[in-house]
Amino acid sequence: NYLNSNKRGITLDLKAVEGCAIMHKLLSQADVFVTNYRTGALERLGLDYETLEKQYPHLIWAQINGFGDIGPDKDNPGFDTIAFWGRSGAMIDQTEKGTPPIIPLIGFGDCTTGCSLTAGICAALYQKAKTGKGQKVMVALFAQAIWNLGTAFIETQFGGKYQKSRTAPNMPFINSYKCKDGEWIFISILEHERYYNTLCKMVGRQDLVDDPRFCTTQQAKKNSTELTAIFDGEFAKYNQAELSAMLVQVDIAHDRVRHASDILSDPQALQNQYIHEVVHANGQKTWTPATPVKFGNTEVNNTMDAPVLGEHTAQILQELNYSTEEIQYLRDKKVFLQQDRKLK
């Protein structure tokens, strides 16, 4: 899993006295405790914020859960497909009008919610640097989805309705169009009056220049179905590459609508090292996403593949001053499991 690269992996049976003791040794040294356990489970393990804050006032306690800590659904299980995609409207409101819910991209909600949790942790670390005290940081998948869909959620309070149709968009020039070769292109014109005539001339429709039905934002919205149909016909005369070149020439924001598999050959992704090749222990090579944040350069500082289950448990226990005999005892008692990385 690319999300766990550059990390060490440890397993512990937290219901065992010995496993719990190891966890508390780690907590005594840690700056941050991150968990995706539900609060009830944390309380049963003695790892809830109220308990740990008394023992480790320096600790930043950070949690992701599905729906938050209060309300009727606070104890419900909530993966990103449920709490992020299903509950918020994201699963159905961005589909074409009259079509079924989309098949959600697994992990999409998890990753965006994780970014918000990271931001909260960074703020808490800043406070800790100033005060020496820890903090409770909480993010829910449902909360993140509401934030991400904020524009749509607000729009519904002013008459906006979802699902929408690309044939009757709110703005015809913030829309996708099918090309002659069956590929799609998306244009995003935020200043309609500035670019309307330019786009008409680009496709050879001088007859539409300054047309009062379409040339202003308000009229374009009012007559969006008709204007979209016109440009469906015009864009269908060109291949995707031809259209992209034409739009570049007139400096109109656009891009080819691409597939995830296209990233492998995308020069922008490759030259900025947004993806990088990883050689796994079995010799297999995989291109994986790189951390999107860059500090001063584009280099990927990936020195370690994701750990196998509990791969570094014994190593970490040694750092906690457990002897070889104690580690073997804990292994035999199944307080931890450790898979060994099998080289090719």
The set of catalytic residues is 110
From residue 195, give the alpha-carbon distance in Å to each of 209, 216, 218, 233, 251: 11, 10, 15, 19, 9
Count of helix runs (H) and strand runs (E) in the chain: 15, 8
Q: Strands 285-289 and 275-279, how do they pair?
A: antiparallel
DSSP result, 36-79 = -S-HHHHHHHT-SHHHHHHH-TT-EEEEEESS-SSSTTTTS---
Pairing assessment for the beta strands 135-140 and 60-65 based on DSSP bridges? parallel
Dist CA 325 CA 333 (whole Å): 12
Position of tokens 């440009």? 231
Using CB atoms within 10 Å of the CB of residue 210, give its burial: 0 to 12 exposed, 13 to 18 middle, 19+ buried.
exposed
Helix (H, G, I), strand (E, B) or coil at 183: coil
Contact (CB, 8 A) for 163 and 169? no
Nearest to 49 by CA among 29, 66, 32: 32
Is-contact 323 330, C-beta < 8 A?
no
Q: How far apart are CA 331 and CA 344, in angstroms?
A: 25
Q: How many CB atoms neighbour CB 184 within 10 A?
A: 17
